Amino acid sequence: MNSLVQVPAVIGGSIVLTSVAGRVTDLLLRRAGARHPETPLWNMLRRCRSAVRLLLLAAVLRAVYRQIAWEPLQEHEAAVGEVLTLVLIGAGAWCVVLVTSAVVESSYARYALGTRDPSRVRRVRTQVTLIMRIVTAVVAVVAAAAMLLTFPGLRAVGTSLLASAGIIGIVAGVAAQSTLGNLFAGFQIAFGDMVRIGDTVVVAGEWGVVEEITLTFLAVRTWDERRITMPVSYFTGRPFENWSRGGIQMTGTVFLHCDHTTPVALMREKLREILEGCEAWDGRGWDLAVTDTTPSSIVVRAIVTAKDADDLWTARCAVREQLVAWLAEKHPYALPRVSTSAAAVPSQYADGVSKRAPGSDA
């Protein structure tokens, strides 16, 4: 066969063969997904079709390229074989990552559907995310090492590097002490159930939700849509508040400064009325009491409960706003004021009171 015809025939036949194999595999996975809709694995595996086609194409070309009687190809046979080998290794690593991701995500999806406890779902989600990052990193390192070993010139370099691996390991360990600390802290967070993706936390005085956890850093999304990124070692070496641990129900307080003449009993009844009309209140509990007093005012504390931090914030704002409006409308004398004149003295005590001007010395 003419070499000019043989080259496109081999390449075209390889492409057609791999395309047919990819279509057949995709069709089988689609039918399996239709027969078992409760298992998302089959549909997730369909995302691997591009990697599988590239892997099959590289494998077929790697097997038959030596049979092509084309002079330029024969002159660069070693280089072509090297390139095809590198593509084969890269495609194989890509397939491994995609298949592992599909299996892990499918397992997590089935677990999330069968578990009603949101804290467990968040814990498994955190562990799955970190496991996939570890698998991806390991596969990438192994694939890179396999690619380097295909070059004969780098094998000697690798041998000399292995001979001095002890010294290099010590130097690298000292230089990357902080990075290694974050790496082990990431493992501790993932499997120690300290903090999970989706948890509501307070760190460095900021309230937010854990949005992402990696092996080295953790991202918190605050209520005003900012992102706070900090090393994971922060959570293993310093105290922080985790409002989602042990249940997401919360109790909050609302403090009001009022006058001493405030009708506390009526105020307590009004709080009950406000909470009964507030959708954010979960009905678990409430209270109102005077917790402190000063020469000019009293401190009234209202306690409300809610099913999570967002509803608690809404309930506290509603209670504060409506109680202040009610006092201003019905009992304006109960609002705190600043006295600018002497208090009126009852007539029965007028005879015993000194006629001195306020503030004068004895």
Most confident of 2-6, 8-12, 129-133: 129-133
Question: What's residue 319's pLDDT?
Answer: 94
pLDDT at 82 over 80: no
pLDDT of residue 202: 86
Query: How long a stretch of residues is the chain?
Result: 362
The SS3 of residue 296 is: coil
| Segment 169-201, tens digit of pLDDT | 544 444 444 555 666 666 677 666 678 888 888
- Reported pTM: 0.46
Are the beta carbons of 120 and 76 closer than 8 angstroms?
Answer: no
- Residue 95: what pLDDT? 85
pLDDT at 167: 47
- Alpha-carbon gap, residue 103 to 96, rounded angstroms: 11
Q: Which residue has the higher pLDDT, 273 or 189?
A: 273
Give pLDDT tens digits for 299-322: 999 999 998 888 888 999 999 999
Exposure string of 82-114, with b = 16+ CB inside 10 Å and e = fewer, is eebebbbbbbbbbbbbbbebbebbbebeeeeee
Q: How many CB atoms lie within 10 A of CB 195?
A: 25
Mutual angle of helices 118-149 and 152-163, in 10-degree steps? 120
How far, CA to CA in Å, does 356 sit from each of 33, 344, 345, 346, 359?
95, 14, 13, 16, 8
For the residues 20-43, what does the mean pLDDT come to?
74
Question: Does 36 or 361 have the greater pLDDT score?
Answer: 36
For position 67, what pLDDT does the model report?
Answer: 62
pLDDT above 70 for 268: yes
Q: Does residue 355 carry a pLDDT above 60?
A: no
Provide the sign of the torsion angle of the four alpha carbons 269, 273, 279, 284, taken in this order. positive
